[in-house]
Amino acid sequence: MQNLPIYLYDRTFDVTLDLDGTTIGVNRSMYQPELKLQRGLKNTIRIQFKNSDQKRISVSTQTFVFSMYDVLNNRMVLEKPLEILETTTATRGLALLNLTESDTVDLEPSHYNFSVRLINEDGTFSPTYSNTYYDVAGTAQVLNDVYPRLQPSQEIVSFNKVMNSVTDLYEHISGNVYANPEYNGNTALHTIALYMTGFRGTVKVQVTLANTPAHFGKYATVYENTFDQFTGIDYANFSGVYSYIRVMYIPATKPAESLNDDPDYYGKFDKALYRS
């Protein structure tokens, strides 16, 4: 039997702020840890304000804002106000930074600079320091350890035109598109976007459990819709663990004709974007 210890603890980052006029010396901080943020999760960090004597300093009447910067592109990617926690001597100089899932979900895993600024009564900003060497900017690392990276959609643009011997209608069928069953649970969600321009006809999305599906006979339809001169994007969602999917569209037949083979009448099925 394996025992797996799990640690859950508050993270505290020290910030130097000389609002205390009684400072009598400078005690240099030898090490300030890098701030680590998990992408796509709620990150809660306690900010402890101290003076250069490493004594906790009161900030109960102050307002602070946390800003994070992408140094390479010279742009700010995140800005959040701090919540002041100071209510007693035990919480003197303590503030809280709350980053929600949506605050970090669009950030690339990388290193960023951050700062904590004091907002003065006249609306100007004063710097605080990440250490006692008067470095204003601290370093934060956005990690992607537990949030899955979104994979690009598979584009379906090629279709084989075949005659269905039962209906005597042409069907345009895509190739077998791999559905990544090894990554999906029993309720795996599949999404497909169908792009059309003035399309008349029926569109089907089909699935199979076969590892080597043949052209006919081993597919089941999970989505079917009929369109009449539709221009735009139609979406379909379905769940399940499948080996492959494919897209089929069946053009509408022009009045007074027997074959559904007139693109000027039935329009165009442009493409499909599929993600599993």
Using one digit for the tens of pLDDT, what is the confidence trace for 179-206?
A: 888 776 556 788 999 999 999 999 999 9
CB-based contacts of 5: which residues, under 8 Å, 6+ apart?
none
Phi, psi of 264 (to 5 degrees): -65, -25
- CA pair distance 56, 79, nearest whole angstrom: 25
Task: Kindly report whether the global pTM for this prediction surpasses the value 0.75.
Answer: no
Give, as one character, the DSSP assignment of residue 264. H
Residue 6 scores a pLDDT above 50 = no
Given a cut of 60, whether residue 226 has pLDDT beyond it is yes
Q: How confident is the model at residue 264 (pLDDT cuts 50, 70, 90)?
A: very high
**Given pLDDT bands bounded at 50, 70 and 90, which one contains residue 41?**
confident
pLDDT band at 34 (very low <50, low <70, confident <90, very high): confident
Handedness of CA 227, 233, 239, 240 (dihedral sign): positive
Q: Which amino acid appears at position 182 of this protein? A: E
Pairwise CA distance, residues 223 & 271, whole Å: 16
Closest CA to 150 of 106, 207, 103, 187: 106
Single-letter amino acid, residue 44: T
Average pLDDT over residues 69-96: 88
The mean predicted confidence, pLDDT, of the chain is 83
Strand, coil or helix: what is 268?
A: strand
Q: What is the pLDDT of residue 181?
A: 83
Higher pLDDT, 159 or 129: 159
- Going 150 to 66 to 88 to 17, the CA torsion angle's sign is positive
| Between 3 and 79, residue with greater pLDDT | 79
What domains does the chain contain, in order, with CATH numbers? 11-143 (2.60.40.3350), 154-275 (2.60.120)
pLDDT of 240 reads 87
Residues 246-263 pLDDT 10s: 999 999 999 988 889 999
Residue 8 predicted with pLDDT over 70: no
Identity at 111, one-letter amino acid code: H
pLDDT in tens, 60-82: 888 889 989 988 888 899 999 99
Question: Which residues have CB under 8 Å from 90's CB, separation 6+?
Answer: none
Closest CA to 104 of 127, 80, 132: 80
The whole-number pLDDT of residue 216 equals: 55
> What pLDDT shows up at residue 261?
92
As a whole number, mean pLDDT of residues 8-27 equals 61
Alpha helices, H only, 75-228? 101-104
What six digits make up the tokens of 272? 């499909």
Is the confidence at residue 2, as pLDDT, over 50? no
Nearest Cα residue to 192 out of 147, 248, 231: 248
pLDDT of 162 above 70: yes
Q: Note whether 95 and 130 are within 8 A (CB).
A: no
